[in-house]
Amino acid sequence: MTWPECFSGFRRAGVTRSGRASPAIRRYQEGAAANPRTLRAPVATFVPFTKVEGFTEEVCPTTPALEPSLTAFFGVRQANSVAGRRPMLATLKDQYVALQADRAHQCAFQASAAANNIALLTNSVVTLVERSTTVAPEEVEDIAKAASTALTLCAAVAVSQARITAWMTQIQRHLWLQQAAVTEPARKVLLDAPISSDGQFGPQFLAMVESMKAASSQR
C-alpha cells in the first residue's frame, strides 16, 4: 500500500457520516511529497504554537552534536571543528544523510510539542464544559469520552515522535562510527547506548576511549 492509499479515508472538503467535516490531512501530506527538495525544518508556520515548557530555549533541537573531546578520535579536521560549529562528517554523502536526520529530529520534536499543546487544549475544553450550566449531562459525558480518546492519541503521537528522535540519533551515531576504528562489539554497544542531549555518544563512549588509551599505553 502506498502512502496516498493510507490516507484515502480523508476527504478534501468532505463530511463524515457523523456530519462533522473531515480534517484535510491528505492535503498537507501531498504538499510535502510534491517537492521534497524545498522542505525545511522545523515548520516555521507552526513554531509559535509548538513552544512548550521543558524543551529548553531551542524549541526544535537537532540531534546531539559530537562531543568536542571526540573530534580527534573520529578524525575531524581542525578547520571542521571551529568554535560555534558542529563537527562535520568526512564525506558529502554522509553529511547529507546527517542533515536529513537533523531535520527529521527537529520535526519530530515539533510534532511532540504540538501533541502536548493539543492535550492541554483538550483538557481545557473538558474543564469548561464541566463548569457549564447550559450543557446537558449526557453531552458532557460524550465530550469527556471524546477528550479521553484525544488524550490517548496525543500520548501515542508523543511516544512515536520520541522513538523517531532516538532513531535519528542512532543514524548519526552509525555514520560517525563508520569513520572510526571501533570493533564490532563496541560499535553495537555505542550505537544502542542511552541518549543524552549533552552529546552524540555520552559518557559511555568517553569512558571506553579512555580505557582504550590506557590499554594502548601499557603495551
Q: Is the pLDDT of residue 86 over 50?
A: yes
> Which pLDDT score is estimated for 166?
96
Q: What CA–CA distance (Å, rounded) separates 113 from 94? A: 29
> Which residue's entry shows cell 542511552?
194
Q: Does the pLDDT of residue 15 top 50, yes or no? A: no
Nine-digit cell string for 13: 472538503
Lowest mean pLDDT among 6-20, 25-39, 186-200: 6-20
pLDDT value at 92 more than 90: yes
pLDDT per position as a tens digit, 60-78: 889 999 988 888 888 886 5
Mean pLDDT on 46-51: 79
In the chain, count of helices (H) and strands (E)?
6, 0
Lowest mean pLDDT among 43-57, 171-185, 194-208: 43-57
